[in-house]
Structure 1
């Protein structure tokens, strides 16, 4: 397996190290397609976020969690996903 060059980005105050090549994974493309073109499929965002950030998923969710409610809102998680996508593919 070739050496993977990870890109370090900061999202919602969390530093993430992500392989930009993850966007070349057909599972990622499939989930993106479902989220963008099928109304009500935003629930697929969790699986997509997990595929992209891998083991850092829990750290990111912890950062997104509201201290009062103990919940990571869907709105914040989807925004984090959009921020990650912009960082990994700024010209898309």
Structure 2
């Protein structure tokens, strides 16, 4: 069972992709809200010391937006995941949730 961030109607998966034995990338995947089996796949990459993929996920095109002064999330009706399967992938290694 995956996480249920702000839109429990879609399947979500998060975790780490093992690149080597000691290097992993963090990802969060959201199925499309409409016809996930026919929807295209979009990969969103943010990276660097002060910018992870959670910027796109929670402030730009993801299925939720930050609400209540950072204590909650709210449904984003303009999310790219309305018509596409979207994977948010952090990179490069050794920033944010990566190791």
Same fold at TM > 0.5:
no
Structure with higher RCO (Cα < 8 A, 6+ apart): 2
Q: Which has the higher strand share?
A: 2
Higher helix fraction (1 or 2): 1
Shorter-chain TM band: under 0.3
